[in-house]
Structure 1
Amino acid sequence: MANQVVMGAMMSCSFGTAPGSLLVTSNQTVLSSGMPAATIMDFAPIANIPPFAMCTSIANPQVASATAAAFGVLTPMPCVPVTTGPWVPGAPTCLIASQPALTDSSQCFCAWGGVIQISFAGQATETVA
């Protein structure tokens, strides 16, 4: 069973250098363990998914440029997530504000090749099917 993700859940990006904390904006009325429950629509860069410190993806134009300037030595640059769509798969049988609930097994993808995953759901007492 997957855990319901709530405001403050910890997540990481495969190309980021530090974890980030999820901000829930899609729902402010449904609570789980006293915190707003997240949906798959909580995927907006900065508003929901904060930067992960530095980006190490060579697909990121800033990283590619800095790396070229350093004669091929990988040079991380500040992370600015560029999410390409909602979290997948979510929990289609558990709707919050008419959207599937976000679970700790869901993933979100960055245009620079990063895979964003939930490392801690923010609470561990509520499970969804």
Structure 2
Amino acid sequence: MITYVWRDAFGNDEVEALHAEGFGHEPLASDDWWGRVRRHSLGWVCARRAGTGALVGFVNAVWDGGGHAFLVDTVVAGSARHEGVGTRLVALAAERASAAGCEWLHVDFEERLRPFYINACGFSPTPAGLIALRA
């Protein structure tokens, strides 16, 4: 069983380890996830395995302070994939963003994740733009 908590307390090390696994990089000891979400986020959702409390999923909902929220850092541990964890993380973030008065929830993603975001989570495809600020 997985539990989901909006604005759950977490350790930097556990989020960084999950992020590193999901995004394919070495964990960075200097990343201050707790400080980052407290400064910039509307909220975040932590998914934990019942019994062990292990963090198996995370999504961060940042916002503009008004009508727009943006999902970033959606990640699910390999051991918890294909259990509906990602869709529940996104659904809870959407519910809370709506309750906070947001009118729109945005997400950008790699093409390989289109079935997840469009089909499983219900996002509508839209044109968007991107400028790479660092090569």
Q: Normalising by structure 1, what TM-score?
A: 0.26
Give the greater-gyration-radius structure (CA): 1
The structure carrying a bigger helix percent of its residues is 2
